[in-house]
Chains A and B, each alone.
Chain A
Amino acid sequence: MATASATAHDNDHHDHGHDHHELGFWQKYVFSTDHKTIGIQYGITGLIFLMIGFCLMMLMRWQLAHPGTAIPYVGNLLENIFPAQMTGGIMQPDFYNALGAMHGTIMVFLGIVPVAFAAFGNYVVPLQIGAPDMCFPKLNMASYWSFFVGGVIMLVSFFVPGGAAKSGWTSYSPLANIADHPGTPIPGIFGTDAVVHTILNGQTMWIIGMVFLITSSLLGSVNFIATIVQLRAPGMTWMRLPFFVWANLITAFLLLLAFPPLEAAGVMQLMDRLAGTSFFLPTGLAVGNQPLPISGGGSPVLWQHLFWFLAHPEVYVLILPGIGIIAEVIANNTRKPLWGYKAMVYAIFVLGFLSFIVWAHHMYLTGMGSKVAAFFQTTTIIISIPSVILLTALMLSLWGGAIRFTVPMMFATAFLPMFGIGGLTGIPLAFNAIGLYLHDTYYVIAHFHYIVAPGTIFAIFAGVYYWFPKASGRHMNQFLGKVHFWGSFITMNGVFMPMFLQGMLGMHRRWYDGGTTYEQISSGIAFGRTGLEWNQVISTSAWLLGLAQIPFIFNFFWSIWRGKKATDNPWDATTLEWDTPTPPPHGNFIKPITVYRGPYEYSVPGESKDFTPQSEPPSGVEAKAPAHTAAH
């Protein structure tokens, strides 16, 4: 059967000389409806966006470590593109804010969600449940292209007059309503002056881009849930699902139900900017000592409620697919089943459910009363319990295992303490009294970055090294992988650990001068260094972290052609995706598949091999082709 896609390659890659399918180039590689191609499209695009977001951060780190000085090498280049925002090669405050807002937006919505959820989910989930494709392939394609358009809009927003959105990834009103206000003359790029009308300004384009991204996620989540419910192969009961599938199912529900209120809020903020409404603008608002000519009567806190109603479940969207990947890698590389699979499933249900009713812990300082604050503190503390259950089960899964430290396993093992640090440092933040001191400081940045950076991104790396052989038929180079791992692991801690200290000294998260003008940072000492000196440690670590990704990027592309050839099941794994040819053809399984076992039958006593694939029938029973409508 002709292979449809599956090489880890750029969108316009070449046919590998296999039999030609009837589909033309565009239908096969660009507007494909095959979940594997779409998964790879999401993966490549998402990884590129992750790199872009990372580069934005590296620029910001120069300004924080050496405030007010010109950026070497890159500064002049940027000055040519953004003359008003990088005058003399020095980052202007507005540009710093734009980089900060877009770093967050790009990493969360264009990087992590597309790679961890959409890319891995699309590629692996139908294979793991024994399905021929996603439930709605055309919808799947539409989801990818909606994401792509949203991403393009976000990138283009850097180049419109006034630059990209600069009101934080949280886009709080009233600043986000009036920033780069349409009708105001703002110096444009390449030295032109342009009166910005309506749509062509960064903040408005941010909202429009978000609408495309939200639509993409919503359509994608409908697809995931319908696929997992309806297209499980015969014998694939709920409790035989690989944990990765459970993680994606819950993630899809979070996206399905939490994103729409933000879409509603986005529409309202768009109306505020374009139609002059006052959804989020309070009565009596003055800008630059002039009262704004608006009706007023709106509420900035309303935006926060609607934004965080999504954004809290969103952070669970960021971590759950990662936990799913880690679970697969750990089970496979310890050669034993996951400890507490059932507990993990129940924990993830509870986690998903609770994640909808904790959102106002991001809003403790908005003036809410003590009863409401008490409610949210309680639910936030309770939600730490399922998270701990998940992490503990994964850690206990290591006990007594015959651990193989393959590159995916190294990332997975490192994930555990890193996610632990991230999670545990979140517990103080659950209390509004502590929020008074730590809200909007670098402590919060350190907390959540520990979860997404050495957390989810490590899980993403683990997933790439783990599933690369199935998608491309070749292994990635193990030595380069280990260099990538150690480089990333050490430098990530160098970046984020000192941020806890800075946060506790009182450093605010959006100061563009790194705290120079604040005595508690410029003179405050933590572990022998002032807050400013820690900036330099962090920035140097960040740049070294960037260098550490070079072996990965090189390895990724080099291995597609020159990697060691892989068998169909190089890791001796039990789950169904390894039951297919490499790379899997269109339709995935050569013959219809029946599932007889649970997902992690490793080292089963009495068996000859140390693993038994899910589709292998019990001895003495012949594998039967399922009846046409058979389902379990």
Chain B
Amino acid sequence: MEIPYTVTARPDTGLWNAKLGIWLFLASEVMLFGGLFSAYIFLRLGAEPGYWPMGLLNVPVGTLNTFVLIGSSVTVVLAWAALKMRQFRRYQIYMAITVLCGLVFLGVKLGYEYPQKFHHYGAFIKKDSLPKYEEFLGNLHLAEKGLAPRVEITGHLHHEDEHHLEITLDPVNADPTNPENDRPRFWPVKATEKIAKIDKADVEFSGVFAPKHSPYFATYFTITGLHGLHVLGGVIVFCYYLLPVSTRLYRKNPEHFANRVEVAGLFWHFVDLVWIFVFPIFYLL
């Protein structure tokens, strides 16, 4: 006996097997990213004021990646539609564009964003020593405005020896009382030439913007890393659907192949959906 309902729908549920299967899997993925998002909420609520940074990620690049991913969601559904209408050439084109978008997304992330972070440096100043570095932190100015204090000096590591750190300052630390620096800006501003010399004794924790730098970067890298793995997985499956073996399945049973592409497309839309939430909460809010 063959397994029924692999291509045609079961009348009472209206579903063929793999469609139900992928939605069940997506439900578990909602809980997976839900677990990570609940960790984000928990850690962010638990962060002392000033210890959860904003404005450290490149917003234009993130926005570009969002456009790329949304675009790929459009092209993948058009690819599926082309299959349902038995327009194979059109399907191949749209699917190839989808793969390209996925690769661009990953390339931007792994080739530009992550390496940028690994060169960006930050030093958390001990609470008792905060007044000493007021010229770089501007906390009196922030307190007047009712904003959260700054506790970190960021920039690029210029020089390090046994007792001191020298950091080429980011604009927000070079000019902390400038009202334009009160909130993060859209276009990233280049690092200044100004250098700050910091005593290591005043530093609570310092390092490049790696996952261990702070709970913010820990969550950022973990969530975007896991999301990136999902993007990669989707790209691999789509590549498989462009190979000759898949063309043969289309020739033999086009409806079955269309169903497969739909199932992979659903996974891809979910990945896009997760990014729609990830982007604002890390880059903007």
Contact = CB atoms under 8 A, between A and B. Distances in A.
Interface of A: 131-133, 135-137, 139, 218, 221-223, 225-226, 229-231, 256-265, 267-268, 271, 275-279, 293-299, 302, 305-306, 309, 587-589, 592, 629, 631-632
A277 B1 contact: no
Contacts of A305: 38, 42
A631 B210 CA distance: 56
Contacts of B10: 230, 631
B149 to A, nearest CB: 15
B112 interface: no
B232 to A, nearest CB: 16
Interface of B: 1-5, 8, 10-13, 15, 17-18, 20-21, 24-25, 27-29, 31-36, 38-39, 42-43, 46-48, 51, 124, 205, 210-215, 218-219, 221-222, 226
A263 B24 contact: no
Given A132-B2, A132-B3, A277-B222, A299 B42 contact: yes
Nearest to B25: A222
Contacts, number: 150
Nearest to A296: B205
Contacts of B18: 136
A566 B5 CA distance: 35
A382 to B, nearest CB: 23
Contacts of B21: 135-136, 139, 222-223, 226
30 contacts: A132-B1, A132-B2, A136-B18, A218-B28, A225-B20, A226-B24, A256-B28, A260-B32, A264-B35, A265-B39, A267-B226, A268-B218, A268-B222, A275-B210, A275-B212, A275-B221, A276-B210, A277-B218, A279-B215, A279-B218, A279-B222, A295-B124, A295-B214, A297-B43, A299-B46, A302-B39, A302-B43, A305-B38, A306-B39, A629-B8
Contact of B51 (A265, A297, A299): A297
A260 B29 CA distance: 7
A587 to B, nearest CB: 4
B2 to A, nearest CB: 7
A194 to B, nearest CB: 24
Q: Which of A259, A264, A587 has the most CB of B within 10 A?
A: A264
Contact of A297 (B8, B20, B214): B214
B218 A278 contact: yes
A265 B222 CA distance: 11
Nearest to A309: B35
Contact of B5 (A133, A231, A256, A302): A231
Nearest to A587: B1
Contact of B212 (A229, A276, A299): A276
A229 B20 contact: yes
Contact of A264 (B3, B32, B218): B32
Contact of A276 (B38, B211, B222): B211
A134 B124 CA distance: 55
B54 to A, nearest CB: 15
Contacts of B222: 267-268, 271, 277, 279
A263 B35 contact: yes
Contacts of A230: 4-5, 10, 13, 15, 17, 20
Contact of A259 (B28, B211, B213): B28
Contacts of A293: 205
Q: Which of B2, B8, B27 has the most CB of A within 10 A?
A: B27
Given A230-B13, A262-B35, A279-B215, 18 more contacts: A225-B24, A226-B17, A230-B10, A231-B3, A260-B31, A261-B32, A261-B34, A264-B35, A267-B36, A268-B222, A275-B211, A276-B212, A277-B222, A278-B218, A295-B213, A297-B214, A592-B1, A629-B11
Q: Is the interface of B mostly helix, strand, loop or mixed?
A: helix
A263 B1 CA distance: 37
B81 to A, nearest CB: 25
A387 B17 CA distance: 32
Nearest to B33: A264
Q: Which 3 A-B pairs have the closest CB atoms?
A: A261-B35, A264-B35, A276-B212
B31 A133 contact: no
A131 B1 CA distance: 9
Q: Which of A218, A222, A297 has the most CB of B within 10 A?
A: A297
A297 B215 contact: yes
A222 to B, nearest CB: 5
Contacts of B11: 629, 631
A632 B210 CA distance: 57
Nearest to B32: A260
A294 B17 CA distance: 48
A159 to B, nearest CB: 29
A527 B219 CA distance: 53
B93 to A, nearest CB: 30
Given A230-B13, A261-B34, A631-B12, A298 B1 contact: no
A222 B21 CA distance: 6
Nearest to B42: A302
A263 B229 CA distance: 15
Nearest to A137: B3
Contacts of B27: 256-257
A276 B213 CA distance: 9
A632 B215 contact: no
Q: Which of B213, B218, B222 has the most CB of A within 10 A?
A: B218
Contacts of A587: 1
Contacts of B51: 297
Nearest to B212: A276
Contacts of B218: 268, 271, 275, 277-279, 295, 298
Given A231-B3, A277-B222, A261 B31 contact: yes
Contacts of B219: 279
Contacts of A589: 1
Contacts of A256: 24, 27-28, 31
A265 B35 contact: yes
Contacts of A218: 25, 28
Contacts of A223: 21
A424 B81 CA distance: 57
Contacts of B25: 218, 222
B227 to A, nearest CB: 12
Contacts of A631: 10-12
A83 to B, nearest CB: 35
A219 to B, nearest CB: 8
Contact of B47 (A259, A263, A276, A297): A297
Contact of B36 (A264, A309, A588, A592): A264
Contacts of A294: 205, 212
A276 B10 CA distance: 50
Contacts of A306: 35, 38-39
Contacts of B48: 297
A230 B2 CA distance: 13
A296 B124 CA distance: 11
Contacts of B28: 218, 221-222, 256-257, 259-260
Contacts of A262: 35
Nearest to B34: A261
B226 to A, nearest CB: 7
B203 to A, nearest CB: 12
